[in-house]
Amino acid sequence: MTIDALLFQALNGLASASSLFLIGVGLSIIFGVSRIVNMAHGSLYMLGIYIAYSCATHIGGAFGFWGGIVISTLLVAAIGAMIEIVLLRRIYRAPELFQLLATFAVVLVVSDLTLWIWGNEDLLGPRAPGMTGAVEILGRRMPTYDIFMMFVGPAVLLVLYWLLARTRFGRLIRAATQDREMVGALGVDQARLFTLVFALGAGLAGLGGALQLPREPANLAIDLNLIGDAFVVVVVGGMGSITGAYLAALIIAEIKALCIALGAQTIFGVSFNFSRLTLVAEFLVMAVVLIVRPYGLMGRAQGLIRTLAIPEEPVRAADAMTKGLAGIVLAVLVVMPLASAYWPYATVLGIDMLIAALFATSLHFIKGPGGMHSFGHAAYFGLGAYGAGLAVKAGGLSTMPALLVVAPLAAFAGAALFGWFCVRLSGVYLAMLTLAFGQIVWSIVYQWETFTGGSNGVVGVWPQGLLADRSIYYWLVLALTVSGVMFLRTVIFAPFGLGLRAVRDNPLRAAAIGLDVRRIQWIAFILAGTVCGVAGGLYAFAKGSISPETIHVGRSIDGIVMVLLGGLQTVSGPVIGGPLFTLLQDTLIRQVSYWRAALGIVILIIVLVFPQGVVGSIAHWRQWLAERARRPA
């Protein structure tokens, strides 16, 4: 390889860096001010490219293309403002991260809406008028539009820098990023500020999408493909730092370009194809950066975040009524397979719902009482599943030891290793490090063809002997799920659980009274991961096969949605949330052809009716009724 080739690839990296920067910068601004993890950011970007396509092809010509970019920026900004006003404004008082659930529903609705409006074919837009050709640099041809893109990123960066540094609006954004309550106390109209910030962030996503039109076809997979990249850019750069976001985009793009330039190389007799690293490069960068610099490249330690949410009630043991209800439900679950002649699907769906309950409960354990928002919980689910599956397939073990020993052990090992790094961070940085670890595990499993079966996974891991019978397997799942849930519940009420919540609510005071903050968090992380591994093992044998999807970020997000649906601040929330999500998806997918939109709308209704999750809100209402009854008439 020549120096010229490397230099030229570095130039390619500059163009990609601009694209990446535009993907992330809007998210950074929105998160900085509103603390909303906006899952719909990729959807807004996708709308940007589709709207730009329509302008470029229907209006046509230079105006259609360049004007289309302006139109899509403004339209997407307006859509963002609308989402904020109609939806998010109603739920700012909900517990932390609950808004994620609402934006997740938006993703589903936008995805089906886009399919309905623009159809199912990929739409490749025209080349940019005036920039269709290429120029000769270093003896190679560089597209003119790529040269234009190299300058777009820095230009947007400069404009935003000026906006933040020199205007009143910018000062308010910076102030709100540091302490939004104080900004409110000083008499600034927070509602308007939030709407404007959301519109700005959305507009930047729309701009990024529209500018991508000549480089990739508008397609329906963009929304989920991008959201990971967007978070990486924001977090590697440091929350709220737009210069950091550009720097992060630059580093990631250049590393990818380098991997591609290196291609297949033989080092010390071992041949390795560096281009395969592009699958996971951004997450490797993120893991390294967060381990070395806990607040990203240019971020600063976050001030104390006072949430707008109602403070959490102390956990209470179940009262007689709840216990009675749980007993009845359990009894029904135990006898359900007996009716399988008339209701054969009940056991099949029941197994999936129970596994979802165990998965969600283990995630809730670190999210709720632990206060550590894992975005990579599927890693432990997948480690359990692959551990159990490979123990049977490659290790020749039988079902029960694989399920009861290998699955939890594999997840334990992963959780112990990753948890050790993760508990050294907090807040969104912790969340993103879990995401990075999750994606790294995923990419290893996805590419290790000879051991894990690569993208096809492992097949032929059905339970053996008696367990091959569906009903008996169902009872095993029920028994392990109930044990797992009760175990974590017991831990929450035990002194360790009290300590865990103390650490979450105020690490400084907890440390002052002698609690070992990191150790407690680490143990909690390991406990949750291990129980999750059992859920993964159960899943592997229920399906007879395992694929990398069990580890993918999509499943982690499903888990978060389950926990939030049930209610973050209740101990029994995930037991309802997990099965509810599974049941909703299973039912809607069968009944409705636009099932994603339907699922999104149902979740939106739940979000608005139960702003503390289903169980959380019911508990809240019961308490309210009880208080009213106690009051003298």
Partner 1 sequence: MQWLKSVAVAALGLGWIGSTGADAQGPIKIGEMNSYKSQPAFLEPYRRGWQMAIEEINAKGGVLGRQLEVISRDDNANPGDAVRVAEELVTREGVALISGTFLSHIGLAVTDFAKQKKVLFVAAEPLTDKITWENGNRYTFRLRTSTYMQVAMLMPDTLAAKKKRWALVYPNFEYGQSAVAAFKKLLKEKQPDAEFVTEQATPLGKVDAGAVVQALADAKPDGIFNVLFGTDLARFAREGNTRGIFKDRTVVSLLSGEPEYLDPLKEDTPEGWIVTGYPWDEIDTPAHKAFVAAYQKRWNDYPRLGSPVGYITMQSIAEAIKKAGSTDTEKMIAAFRGLKIDTSFGPIEYRKQDHQATMGAYVGKTTLKGGKGTMKDFRYVDGGSIQPADGEVAKMRPKEANE
CB of 524 to partner 1, least distance (A): 27
In sequence order, what are the beta bridge partners of 387? Answer: none
**313 vs 469, beta carbon nearer partner 1:** 469
User: Binder to partner 1 among 264, 288, 417, 605 (CB under 8 A)?
Assistant: 264
- Rounded to the nearest whole angstrom, what is the least distance from the CB of residue 247 to partner 1 in the complex? 19
Task: Restricting to residues 145-204, name those near partner 1 by CB under 8 A.
Answer: 146
Q: Does 486 bind partner 1 (CB under 8 A)?
A: no
244 binds partner 1 per the rule CB under 8 A: no
Cβ pair 25, 236 in contact under 8 A? no
Is 57 a binding residue for partner 1 by CB under 8 A? The answer is no
| Residues 6+ away with beta carbon under 8 Å from 347 | 336, 337, 340, 470, 471, 474
* Smallest distance from partner 1 to CB 605, Å: 21
The reply to whether 140 sits near partner 1 by the rule CB under 8 A is yes
Distance CA 476, CA 119 (A): 45
**Should residue 220 be labelled a site residue for partner 1 when binding is judged by CB under 8 A?**
yes
Site string for partner 1, 590-629 (x = CB under 8 A): x----xx---------------------------------
Q: Does 393 bind partner 1 (CB under 8 A)?
A: no
Residue 157 to residues 204, 291, 515, Cα–Cα distance (Å): 11, 27, 44
Give the DSSP letter string of 225-289.
HHHHHHHHHHHHH-TT-HHHHHHHHHHHHHHHHHHHHH-EEEETTEEEEGGGGGGTHHHHHHHHH
Helix-helix angle 168-185:3-34, to 10 degrees: 40
Buried b (16+ CB within 10 A) or exposed e, 214-252: bbeebbbebbbebbbbbbbbbbbbbbbbbebbbbbbbbb
Residue located via tokens 């490749």 = 124
For 264-288, b where at least 16 C-beta lie within 10 A, e where not — what string? eeeeeeeeeebeebebbbbbbbbbe
221 interacts with partner 1 by CB under 8 A: yes
The one among 59, 70, 115, 515 contacting partner 1 by CB under 8 A: 115
Q: How far is the CB of 336 from partner 1 (least distance, A)?
A: 10
Q: Please tell me the distance from the alpha carbon of residue 525 to that of residue 367, in angstroms, as a whole number.
A: 10
The full 3-state SS of 499-516, as one line of letters, equals HHHHHHHCHHHHHHCCCC
10 Å Cβ neighbour count for 114?
A: 19
215 near partner 1, judged by CB under 8 A: yes
How many chain residues touch partner 1 (CB under 8 A)? 83
Residue 475 lies near partner 1 (rule: CB under 8 A): yes
* Least distance (Å) between residue 473 CB and partner 1: 10
Residues 542-601 that bind partner 1 (CB under 8 A): 542-545, 547-550, 585-586, 589-590, 595-596
Contact segment (CB under 8 A) with partner 1 among 28-36, 165-173, 535-543, 573-581 equals 535-543
Task: By CB under 8 A, tell whether 35 contacts partner 1.
Answer: no
Contact range with partner 1 by CB under 8 A, out of 190-198, 231-239, 261-269, 482-490: 261-269
The alpha carbon torsion through 26, 29, 30, 32 (nearest 10 deg) reads 150
Write down the least CB distance from residue 94 to partner 1, Å: 28
Q: Determine, following the binding rule CB under 8 A, whether residue 28 of this chain makes contact with partner 1.
A: no
Instruction: Write down the least CB distance from residue 417 to partner 1, Å.
Output: 25
Could you say which residues in the range 309-348 bind partner 1, by CB under 8 A?
Answer: 337-338, 340-342, 344-345, 348
